[in-house]
């Protein structure tokens, strides 16, 4: 589980990262990253992903995968928006890691 101090929780924080951050798109997700003084992570999983069961499954998978990535050297705020194919995808982890690496490189 991702500790509370590593999560984005306020709507204004999400909006700020999406507005000023770098956007990296993959088939199952879109990642927004903005430079920050600390590492924080937020999720957006809409109803297009599926019903409540599928959405919660995608959230759990992404949080678990983000736990390893949040502790990188480069501090940044990250918002991940899951797309409609995320619940059935077996490439969710690879897409998240690839997008994360691209975002880190673009923020250097």
The series of mean pLDDT values per 10 residues for the chain, 108 residues long, is 86 96 96 92 95 95 87 86 92 93 88
- Angle, helices 92-106/52-70, rounded to nearest 10 degrees: 50
pTM summary value: 0.92
| 79 touches 46 (CB < 8 A) | no
How far is the C-alpha of 53 from the C-alpha of 71, rounded, in Å? 28
How far is the C-alpha of 100 from the C-alpha of 106, rounded, in Å? 10
Would you say how long the chain is, in residues? 108
How far is the C-alpha of 8 from the C-alpha of 66, rounded, in Å? 13
Q: Residue 4's pLDDT is what?
A: 85
Return the half-sphere exposure (C-beta side, CA atoms, 13 A cut-off) of residue 108: 7
| 58 touches 87 (CB < 8 A) | yes
Q: Residue 94's pLDDT is what?
A: 94
Domains of the chain by residue range: 4-106
For the domain spanning 4-106, the CATH number is 3.30.230.10
Q: Residue 69's pLDDT is what?
A: 85
């Amino acid at each position: 589980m991702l500790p509370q101090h590593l999560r984005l929780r306020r709507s204004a924080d999400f909006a700020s990262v999406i507005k000023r951050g770098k956007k990296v798109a993959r088939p199952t997700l879109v990642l927004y990253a903005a430079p920050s003084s600390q590492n924080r992570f937020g999720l957006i999983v809409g109803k297009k992903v599926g019903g409540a069961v599928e959405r919660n499954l995608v959230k759990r998978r992404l949080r678990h995968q983000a736990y390893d990535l949040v502790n990188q050297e480069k501090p940044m705020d990250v918002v991940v928006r899951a797309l409609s194919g995320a619940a059935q995808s077996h490439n969710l982890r690879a897409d998240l890691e690839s997008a994360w690496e691209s975002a880190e490189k673009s923020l250097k």
